[in-house]
Structure 1
C-alpha cells in the first residue's frame, strides 16, 4: 500500500498538544501528584537533619583533583554523626576520592561548582558484604549505605563515577573512531573481537567466580579480589534505608546502574540529572527495586540502558503487599535509553500501584517497556500511565514482552525458549490515557504467554504514528477508546490468540486496505467505527 497521509495530523498539532501538556504540568507541584494518584498514596516522608554543618575542607580535604580524599570524607561524615547528624558540605573544587559510605542522619551536600570524582584506582574499592545478600562478596560502590535512616544527597554539584575504567564496550555499540580510541587506550579485546574490556582481570573475572564455586571451605574477601574489576559496582547503592532525599544533584558516568535503591521506604528524587554515555553497558539510570512510597519528580535521564526502571525481586511480604508499590513518577524527561519508563525484568516480588504522568521520552529505544520471562516474573498490576509525549522512538512506543532475554557483555543469544514454569510473568490492569507519539517503528507490541496472557489492558485517547501498528500475541481483554494508530503499513492490527478486544471509535487510515488481521484462535473482536461498518475487507480472520 502507499504511505499514509499525515495531513489530518500534522506535526504542528503534535507539538501543540505537547506544549499544552507541558503548560498544564507546570501548574502541578509534587504534592499535587501525590494527592491525585489513582490509588491511595500517603505522603513520602522526607529526612530531617540537625542544623550542624561540617566542611570536608576542615578535615583535610583538598579539592585539586589530585589528592585522594577518601579519609577526609570519612572523617567529616564521622564527625557529623558524632554531633548528632547534619550537613556534610563539599565546596567548589574537584574532590578525588575512593568509596564513600553514607551514615544515618547525614545530608551530603555537593555545592554548585563541586565535582566529586571517584578514583580509577580499583584497589581503593574493597570487597564487602552487602547486609541483605548471601555470603558472596561484592565490590564496594562509589557511594553506598545499608540499614540507614534519614539520608540525603543534595546540592547543584556533580558526582562522577569514573565508569570508563570499569565498563566493557561492545564493538557494535561504538563508532569506528570510538572503537579505535577504546582499543588504543589499553585494556584487552575478547577473542571474538567484539568486546573491549578495560582490564584483563575484568574479562577473566567471570571464569574466576566459576572456579571459586568449586572450592570447599569459607571464602574470604581476598578470594574475590581477582574478580573485582568484573564485579562492577552500582554507582549509588542503598539497601534497606528509610527517608531518603536526592535533590538537584547530577550523577554521571557510573560503573553500572547509576542509582539502585533496594528494599527502601520513603524515597524522594527532586530535580535530579542522571547521565551515562549511550554505549554504556548495563548503564541503567534509575532502578527502583522492592521499594515503597517513592516520588520521582522533575528528573532528567539520558543513559545507555533502561531510563527509569521498576524492579521487584525476592519473597513477597507477609501482609500480601507487593515488593514494589506506591510509586509516583511525574514531570520527567528521558532522552537516550533502552526504555523511557520500564518495568522488569525482575518482577517476581510483585509490583503494584505505579503512576507515571506528564513525562517526555525523546529518542529512546522503546517508550513504555514492560518486560520479564518465566523464572523471574510475577504479578504486575494497577499501573497508570498518562500524559506521555514521545518522539522518534527507535522501536516500540509501547511494549509488553514476556520472553525477555537479558544478554550481558560477551554472551550470545540462545534462541531457545525458557521452559521453566516457575515465577511466571503476569501483566494485568494497565491503564494508558493521553499517550502521543510522533514516530516509532511499531506503535504497540504485546507478547504474552499462552498459559498467562497479558490481560486487562486499557488504552484511551492515543495518537501514535509508526511504521507498523498494533501487534498482540497471547493477550486478553484489551480495551481501546479513541485510539488512532497512524501506520505506514496495514493491517493496522495484527492479532494472534487474542481473546476479547474492544475498539471504540476506531480510526481507519484512509490508505489502509485491512484494519484488523486475526488468526483462527482469536475470539471476541468488537469494533465500533463508522469508517469500518461498510468495509468488508476491514477485518480479516484467518481460517487456518
Structure 2
C-alpha cells in the first residue's frame, strides 16, 4: 500500500500545498476556472475484473431478518483472493453488521436490493482507525468501511439503509444519557495532549456515532447510483483519499442530527456530480481535520469539483468547514440547484480561531437558489460564537458568479474576526430577488460586487 504522501504526489499537478504565507489581500484568480479541465482529467473511476461473487452464494438470505455479516465477509474475501471483481447484492433485504471492503472490490446493489444495517452497536466491533468530527481515534466501525485500499467501489441502484432513528444512534447526540458529549470532550482532550491514536480507544461503553460509509486512506474510489439513508451521523465520508468519484447518488436523510450528505475530508481530486441531497445537516461539506489533531495530520483538501447537484434540506448546500485545520483550496461548484424551506444557507464557509488553517481559491458559478432559511452566502470566522483564539483562520479568494436567488432573509452574512478579516470575496452577475433583511458584512477586506442586484437595486461596490 502506498503512503499518503505518494498518493498526493501521484495526482499530476496536485502537489502538497503549504498554508499560504502571510495575510496579504488575496483577490480570487479570475482565471481559476482554467484549472478545472486538468483536475477533471485526473479523476478516473476504478475498473474491476469481470468476475461476480453473489453474496447469496456465501449464505446471505435477503429476507430482512437473517444476519448476513459473515456472508458479506466471505464474498468480499473470495473476490479479493481471486484478484478482484464485483460482490453482487441481488434484490432482497439483507441485514448485516459492518462491511469492510478490500482492494479491487466493487460492492454492487442490484435494483430492489437493500443493505439493512443492524442496530446493535456490538455488530460494529472490533474498533477501527477512523475519524470523528475531524479527530482520529479507534471507534466503532463505519457501516461500510475501507482502510488503506486501492480500487474500491459501491455501485448499483439499491439502497444502503443505516436505520438510525430517535431511539437508535441519534439519541446519542443529545444531553440525556446515553450521550456523546462526555466522549467528545474526552477525545478532544486526548488530541490536545498528543495521546497516540492507538490509545484513543472508544467503542463499547462509549457513545461516539459511526459514519454510514467511510473510505479511509484509499486511492481510486467510486460511489455511484445508490441511495443512502438514515446514517448515525455523516453519510458519505472519504478521508485522506485520492481520486474519488461520487456520481448520481441520492442521500435521503433529512431528519437525523449531523446527517451530512457527503464530507470529503483531507482528500485530493474529488468529483461529486449529479447527486441529490436531502439531509439533516450540510449537503456537501469539505473538511480538513480539526484543531490539534488537524495540525498533527496536516493534510489539506484540494481540487474538489461539485457539478450539477441538487440540494434540498440541509444546513448548507455547499459548505467548507467547520473542520478547516489542514487547509482547503481549489474548490469548484457549478450548475447546482438549491432550494428548501429547511435549507439554511446555499454557500457557506464556517471556521473559527480554534480551527485555524486556510480556505482559499473557492469558485462558484451558475447556482440557482429557490429559497433559503438564512443567508444565501455565508462566510463566518466565528463558528460556535468564537471570535478569538490562538489559530486565526486565513480565509479569502472566494469567487461567485451568475448566482440567482429567489427568497431568503439576506443575501450576505460575512463575518471576520477582530483583526483577522475575510480577505477577498468577489460576487459578479448575480441577482438576489426577495431578501427580507439587511446584509451582515463586518471584518471583510477586498469585497467586490459587480453587476449584483438585491431586491431590484444594483449594489456594486469595491475595486
Report the TM range for the smaller structure's normalisation.
Answer: 0.7 to 0.9
Counterpart mapping for 1:505-524 below 5 A: 506=459
Q: Displacement of 1:461 after TM fit?
A: 0.7
Aligned match for 1:303, one of 257, 266, 279? 279
Q: Tell me whether 1:285 sits opposite 2:261 in the alignment.
A: yes
Stretches of structure 1 that go unaligned for 5 or more consecutive residues are: 1-33, 171-194, 406-414, 493-504, 508-524, 528-544
Counterpart mapping for 1:436-455 below 5 A: 436-455=404-423
**Which residue does 1:390 correspond to in 2?**
369
**Which residue does 1:379 correspond to in 2?**
358
**Which residue does 2:246 correspond to in 1?**
269
Residues 393 and 346 (structure 1), Cα distance of their counterparts in 2 relative to 1, 3 Å cut: same
Stretches of structure 2 that go unaligned for 5 or more consecutive residues are: 1-31
**Which residue does 1:55 correspond to in 2?**
54
- Deviating beyond 3 angstroms after TM superposition, the runs of 4 or more aligned structure 1 residues are 34-40, 131-136, 200-210, 216-224, 315-318
**Which residue does 1:336 correspond to in 2?**
313
1:225 counterpart SS class: coil
Q: Displacement of 1:196 after TM fit?
A: 7.6
**Which residue does 1:226 correspond to in 2?**
205
Q: 2-side partners of 1:242 and 1:217: how far apart?
A: 25
Q: Displacement of 1:352 after TM fit?
A: 1.0
> For 1:135-194, what per-residue CA distance to the aligned partner results, in whole angstroms no more than 9, with x for missing partners?
942011111110000000000000001211101288xxxxxxxxxxxxxxxxxxxxxxxx
> For 1:26-82, what per-residue CA distance to the aligned partner results, in whole angstroms no more than 9, with x for missing partners?
xxxxxxxx9965574242022121111000110001000010000000000001011
Residues 377 and 126 (structure 1), Cα distance of their counterparts in 2 relative to 1, 3 Å cut: same
**Which residue does 1:5 correspond to in 2?**
none
Residues 483 and 239 (structure 1), Cα distance of their counterparts in 2 relative to 1, 3 Å cut: same
Does the Cα contact within 8 Å between 1:316 and 1:323 map onto a contact in 2?
Answer: no
Residues 419 and 476 (structure 1), Cα distance of their counterparts in 2 relative to 1, 3 Å cut: closer
Q: 2-side partners of 1:169 and 1:390: how far apart?
A: 33
> For 1:109-157, what per-residue CA distance to the aligned partner results, in whole angstroms no more than 9, with x for missing partners?
0001000000112221214130789994201111111000000000000
TM-score (norm 1): 0.71
**Which residue does 2:145 correspond to in 1?**
144
Q: Tell me whether 1:259 sits opposite 2:236 in the alignment.
A: yes
Residues 242 and 94 (structure 1), Cα distance of their counterparts in 2 relative to 1, 3 Å cut: same
**Which residue does 2:449 correspond to in 1?**
480
Indicate the larger mover: 478-487 or 249-258: 478-487
> For 1:239-267, what per-residue CA distance to the aligned partner results, in whole angstroms no more than 9, with x for missing partners?
11000001111111100100111100000
1:79 counterpart SS class: helix
Residues 92 and 217 (structure 1), Cα distance of their counterparts in 2 relative to 1, 3 Å cut: closer
**Which residue does 1:77 correspond to in 2?**
76
Q: 2-side partners of 1:55 and 1:317: how far apart?
A: 39
Q: 1-side partners of 2:267 and 2:199: how far apart?
A: 31
2:49 counterpart SS class: coil
Counterpart mapping for 1:339-358 below 5 A: 339-358=316-335
Does the Cα contact within 8 Å between 2:138 and 2:201 map onto a contact in 1?
Answer: no
> For 1:356-399, what per-residue CA distance to the aligned partner results, in whole angstroms no more than 9, with x for missing partners?
00001112111101100001122211111000000120000000
> For 1:459-486, what per-residue CA distance to the aligned partner results, in whole angstroms no more than 9, with x for missing partners?
1011112112432101111111110011
Residues 122 and 526 (structure 1), Cα distance of their counterparts in 2 relative to 1, 3 Å cut: closer
**Which residue does 2:394 correspond to in 1?**
426
